[in-house]
Structure 1
Amino acid sequence: MSSQKLETRSEHDLLGNLDVPVNAYWGVHTARALENFEISGVPIGHYRSLVRALAFIKEASALANHELGELATEQFLPIQKACQEVRDGKFDSEFVVDAIQGGAGTSTNMNANEVIANRALEIAGFKKGEYEHIHPLNHVNMSQSTNDVYPTAVKVALIIEIMALLDELKLLRESFAAKGAEFASVIKMGRTQLQDAVPMTLGQEFVAYGVTIAEDESRLREAIRLLSEINLGGTAIGTQLNTPEGYAEAVCRHLSVITEHNFVVADNLIEATQDTGVFVTSSSVLKRVAIKLSKIANDLRLLSSGPRAGFGEINLPPRQAGSSIMPGKVNPVIPEVVNQIAFTVIGNDTTVSMASEAGQLQLNAFEPIIARSLMMSIVYLRRGCKTLREFCVNGITANEEFLRRTVENSIGLVTALSPRIGYESATAVAKRAQETGQSVRAVVLELGLLTEAEFDEILGDVDRLTGRG
């Protein structure tokens, strides 16, 4: 069997010459990274928002350099067009370097520079690799360094992803609110420490889930505001080396226009270049979201447990057979996957914390693993919210009659009766019901503390019983 020889072109870097596939838009620097970093098997092109962010930044930089007289029109126009094509998703498959890489993101920046340069060369009527006309570093990377491009790209990408997560959280919140309205009059027993507490409605329980999600939406919007401060224009360490006067302000202005989001230049570019605190804060907010979603998932599993030997208060929509040996068994697989997403996000937060702490002097070399961890967390949470909403929350039903019986039988009901029969009598009812196994209703009637009509009146006054009156 004969194998066809791959057609290549030769490119050069400080290490020497290297052949790259003739049709590849990436070049020698990307090729080196491909050799060096076979780590996760996940290329940066997997993260569409990061590719878009890189293209936004390269276009904004080209606009600023052209405006300031640094980049000639014959290079500017093809570069701008290439950036627009990249941000539209036409070259995602050319962003091939591993998401986990050494070099503080240099390989990612080089990959972007080469793809944009080679596409710009084609647009200008030249061949890939003819860098004497449009060069990845001299032109596409003009007035830039990986050390300001990469963290800014990560921030732009995170904002894009967080906004998508906010959309899904809003829809999930609305689903819980809708269930809250549907279950508004379904009375049940609330629990503290898994023990019977006092009555509430199932609607109140579901409304509370929506409120807790709304709180997380607010925290995520605060994170977006923090992520909107960038060090673009600071170049290597924040001293603005190799940039024309006014470049930082110009590139930030152009980035804000093309992304339709207001970015601001950091007050101190040296501090902003070495600091990764905003990523720690963002990761902490994502961990908060994950923990609270996982708590809700735990509750849904508990409330639906059984169906006959557990809580059995609600029914989750069946999604698949639950056992290869136990016929008829259906498991809460959707809440379970939400739990596992939460475990992943919590682990990612630890990674972000360690990577941020490991930064030294004027740069943090570990931003690639910070970026990968944050992107993974946001994407998982977004997909988890959608899955939880569509395949679980929207289809939940209540076992209303069973819930009402549990209220009547619960010792906790005596707390609601106490204002009518007195604390001492309520204590006696609770003790006798516990000792004899009788319901609270039966003991109250037997002791003549209330008539049946009076008892039903109290139990039927859901508003007073559940604090809504």
Structure 2
Amino acid sequence: MNKNTNLQQENDTEGIRLEKDSLGEQRVPLNAWYGAQTQRAKQNFDITGVPISHFPELIRALAMVKAAAARANHRLGLLTDEKADAIQGACAQLLRGEHHEAFIVDLIQGGAGTSSNMNANEVIANLGLARLGFDKGQYQHLHPNNDVNRSQSTNDVYPTASRLAIVEAAQGLKVAVKELQHSLAAKGVEFADVLKMGRTQMQDAVPMTLGQEFEAFAYNLGEEEARINAACTLLCEVNLGGTAIGTGINAPAGYGEIAVTELADISNLPVTQAGNLIEASYDMGAFVTFSSTLKRLAVKLSKLSNDLRLLSSGPRTGFNEIDLPAMQPGSSIMPGKVNPVIPEAMTQTAFQVIGTDTTITLAAEAGQLQLNAMEPLIVYNLLNNCRILSKSIRMLDQLCIRGIAANREQCDRHVAQSIGIVTALVPHIGYDNASRIAGKALLTGKGVAELVQEEKLLSDDQLSGILSPQNMVRQQG
């Protein structure tokens, strides 16, 4: 028995197995589905505390790419039936959600995603070995690089998988946005008869209905689904088959086209191969576009949330036109205080997304020559932004919007006391008279309608018709 065998037996008793990579021997937990390179990455990159397993969509995307590659290699005679079946079977396990805990590499890492790719290669190899009846680490029977990564490079696998993962994450986001839009539209119907004052520059403007205000909120979000879809379409153009820098080195003729076709079949997405694989290997334009789409959505959600806070402000000394659901006590010192905590949380999420858009932009610009080594940072932030936006939108919808109530008497009071209704009188008494009435109302504290009646500028019937809610909130025929 040689020295290495003795060492391996000693390690086995300690729950450790010994693996080798190009840097030498590496101790790996005996029961781990990953291998030496993943173990090194875990030791080197302890940055966010967020491993790949935090985002199942990225694991599924890596599994789909590896399965597509195995199919292509098998069709081209580069993998035996047994090896191809073992790899595809292992990928199927990952797609079912099994063994995700084995993806332990930190999302932010050096090496342009190499550690993530090798984490997938090693897990799939060891799962495949188990299917073939071998122990973990017996890579002479199914190798992470020679077999699982055949005809591939991190530089085409990781970008391709990242794109698919983001597209999957976007689907849940779209559903959340649509549900919020429906809830806002439902409030528009519920509040259709509630007359209130509109405001510009935080000053009284002209009357509108609370329903119109919520209808506008809903319409504003209705534009976002098309934007997200367009950004996802860009992400579906992949560089799979380009290998290291887009030249396709170590991949046989026809591999890329076959692999992309298989990937489209497995993912059920309109995946296409980029027209120029060298350009596609370093270009981050699609990621920047997707990030800007999320930022646009975040800006709208923050504006909505801040409007809700204003409209519910008070309750005695603010606008107090709507009541938000009371979710928790608002102060440790002021009894009875209830804060708009749900819109506040939504706004904080929006700020996070807006801020990381700058991070993503800088990372996209930082790629040099034929590769962008900063892609892990981009992927981490985009996946995280999709997740926190989806969760925050559902929170806003379910815990706030659906429970909003209108304070009808307060809205009526604001309209009656507002000088802004004088605008509706301009076509009938002229701008100069209207300005004079507005100034007099400010000085005396009297209402606009009362002053018009005193000066007999209009008859009572004319005045009541002009100032009727129907006439004030719609264009005149």
Report the TM-score range of the alignment, normalised by the length of the smaller protein: over 0.9
Partner of 1:239: 247
SS at match of 1:197: strand
- Equivalent positions of 1:70-85 (< 5 A) are 70-85=78-93
Partner of 1:370: 378
CA distance in 1, matches of 2:308, 2:350: 15
TM-score normalised by L of structure 1: 0.97
Partner of 1:386: 394
Partner of 1:226: 234
TM-score normalised by L of structure 2: 0.95
Q: 1:459 aligns with which of 455, 462, 467?
A: 467
CA distance in 2, matches of 1:16, 1:37: 19
Task: Flag the 1:5–1:392 CA change in 2: closer, same or farther, 3 A.
Answer: farther
Aligned AA for 2:396?
L
SS at match of 1:71: coil
Aligned AA for 2:55?
Y
CA displacement at 1:324 relative to structure 2: 0.6
Say if 1:185 and 1:462, in contact at 8 Å, map to a contact too: no
CA displacement at 1:430 relative to structure 2: 0.7
Aligned AA for 1:86?
L
SS at match of 1:63: helix
- Equivalent positions of 1:415-454 (< 5 A) are 415-454=423-462
Partner of 1:104: 112
- Equivalent positions of 1:277-296 (< 5 A) are 277-296=285-304
Using the aligned pairs only, state the percent identity.
54
CA displacement at 1:456 relative to structure 2: 3.0
Say if 2:209 and 2:473, in contact at 8 Å, map to a contact too: no
CA distance in 1, matches of 2:445, 2:321: 21
- Equivalent positions of 1:113-128 (< 5 A) are 113-128=121-136
Partner of 2:156: 148
State which drifts further: 399-408 or 168-177.
399-408
Aligned AA for 1:230?
V
Q: 1:191 aligns with which of 171, 194, 199?
A: 199
Partner of 1:164: 172
Task: Flag the 1:230–1:290 CA change in 2: closer, same or farther, 3 A.
Answer: same
SS at match of 2:252: coil
CA displacement at 1:405 relative to structure 2: 2.1
Task: Flag the 1:213–1:229 CA change in 2: closer, same or farther, 3 A.
Answer: same
SS at match of 2:223: helix
State which drifts further: 162-171 or 210-219.
210-219
CA distance in 2, matches of 1:224, 1:467: 39
SS at match of 2:349: helix
Q: 1:248 aligns with which of 232, 245, 256?
A: 256
Structure 2 residue 407 is matched with structure 1 residue 404:
no
State which drifts further: 439-448 or 409-418.
439-448
Q: Where do 4+ consecutive residues of structure 1 move more than 4 Å?
A: none
Aligned AA for 1:373?
N
Say if 2:421 and 2:467, in contact at 8 Å, map to a contact too: no
Aligned AA for 2:136?
K
Aligned AA for 2:86?
P
State which drifts further: 399-408 or 25-34.
399-408
Say if 2:207 and 2:472, in contact at 8 Å, map to a contact too: no
CA distance in 1, matches of 2:232, 2:104: 28
Please, what is the CA RMSD of the aligned residues? 1.4
CA distance in 1, matches of 2:59, 2:322: 44
CA distance in 2, matches of 1:334, 1:461: 32
Structure 2 residue 323 is matched with structure 1 residue 308:
no
Unaligned residue ranges in structure 1 (runs of 5+): none
Aligned AA for 1:401?
E
Q: 1:175 aligns with which of 170, 183, 189?
A: 183
CA distance in 1, matches of 2:123, 2:96: 14
CA displacement at 1:407 relative to structure 2: 1.5
Aligned AA for 2:99?
F
Say if 1:416 and 1:465, in contact at 8 Å, map to a contact too: no
- Equivalent positions of 1:29-48 (< 5 A) are 29-48=37-56
SS at match of 1:318: coil
CA distance in 1, matches of 2:205, 2:14: 73
Partner of 2:307: 299
SS at match of 2:157: helix
Partner of 2:329: 321
Task: Flag the 1:101–1:405 CA change in 2: closer, same or farther, 3 A.
Answer: same
